Amino acid sequence: MYFGLMLAITQDPDEFAKRLTDPDGDEGFYNTSPAISPQGDKIAFITNRDFFFSLYIMDANTGEIITRLAEGNRSPNFEELNILTPGLTWSPDGSKIAIAALSHGYDVVYIFDVEEEDIYTLPIKMGWCSKCFLVVDGNYLAFVGQTPKQTDIYTYNLETKEIKNLTNDIFTDRDPNWSYDGKTIYFSSDRNSYKNIIDVPSGFKIYNHDYSQMEIYAIDVEAGQVKRITDMPNSNETNPIVSYDGSQILFISDLNGINNIFRKKWYSP
């Protein structure tokens, strides 16, 4: 009965949302990874409408294409966009866009100046890099970086060019998102009860760890302390987004068998 009720109330997206791209009208182009600007007037997204996966900006109200910022698959400097996990993000003032992409065999982070359409590359090279998010003042970037050993949450200071590994452990950490005051990063991880590296006992082996479940955590950027936010057995919780005042968190969970958006009351650590 529960699943029957869910099916009964399910709506087609066209019934409650406005379509901005149309596969019937635009020759079936693949459009993915949308990121709306802080002002709500533009959407950056990845599409293959020029036969290569490229970065475009559209009008958020009409869907009209404003500009193409970058052409993918054309040069070693911009070899391939991570179309599934690009970490496409805007700066708080809407003047810049950050995105991870493949270049010369490594994943790097590009910063685009939206108005001038200039581009520069951050001195970051990872085996895999995704989920980039610029903090409120636009001077810090949080991203997921993968090395041959592990996957961690990193920050990068755009002014001092300092890179910092925040989690630095053997667990998988992903989906970072800043609090609005820039003091906390929310993320998902398979660490279960191991909040910090000092909690991991000597002789711990990852193959003995139950890494099948993802939960939501928060880390204090300065102190490096991790707090667990969700504990929902037999489900995965990912992609946290915190409210402006830090009192509520939205996240995705498959608690009922399929991915849905959940909300949890929370007070920022």
Counting the structural domains of the chain, the total is 1
pLDDT-above-70 percentage for the chain: 84
Structural domain contains residue 185: no
Does residue 184 lie within any of the structural domains? Answer: no
> In sequence order, what are the residues at sequence separation of 6 or more whose Cβ sits closer than 8 angstroms to the Cβ of residue 149?
170
Indicate if the pLDDT at residue 72 is higher than 90.
no
DSSP assignments along 66-119, one per residue: EEEEE-SSSSGGG-EE-SSS---EE-TTSSEEEEEEEETTEEEEEEEETTTTEE
Alpha-carbon distance of 144 to 49, in angstroms, equals 28
User: Which structural domain, as residue segments, surrounds residue 61?
Assistant: 14-134
Residue 3 has pLDDT above 50, yes or no: no
Q: Give the pLDDT confidence score for residue 220 in this predicted structure.
A: 93
Residue 186 falls within a domain, yes or no?
no
123 within domain boundaries = yes
Mean pLDDT of 117-146: 72
Element (H, E) at 36: strand 31-36
**pLDDT (mean) for 65-90:** 74
Residue 139 lies in a domain: no
Within 10 A of 208 (CB to CB), how many other CB atoms are there? 8
Q: Look at residue 186 in the predicted model and tell me its pLDDT.
A: 94
**Is residue 41 assigned to a domain?**
yes
Predicted local distance difference test score (pLDDT) of residue 229: 93
With 0.75 as the threshold, say if the pTM is over it.
yes
52-61, 70-79, 90-99 — which is least confidently predicted? 70-79
Tens-place pLDDT, residues 18-40? 888 876 766 668 888 889 998 99
35: its two tokens: 């990121």
Percent of the chain with pLDDT over 90: 23
What CATH number does residue 41 fall under? 2.120.10.30
Confidence class for position 74, pLDDT limits 50, 70, 90: low
Task: Evaluate whether residue 72 is within a structural domain.
Answer: yes
pLDDT of residue 131: 57
**Is 119 inside a domain boundary?**
yes
pLDDT at 5 over 60: no
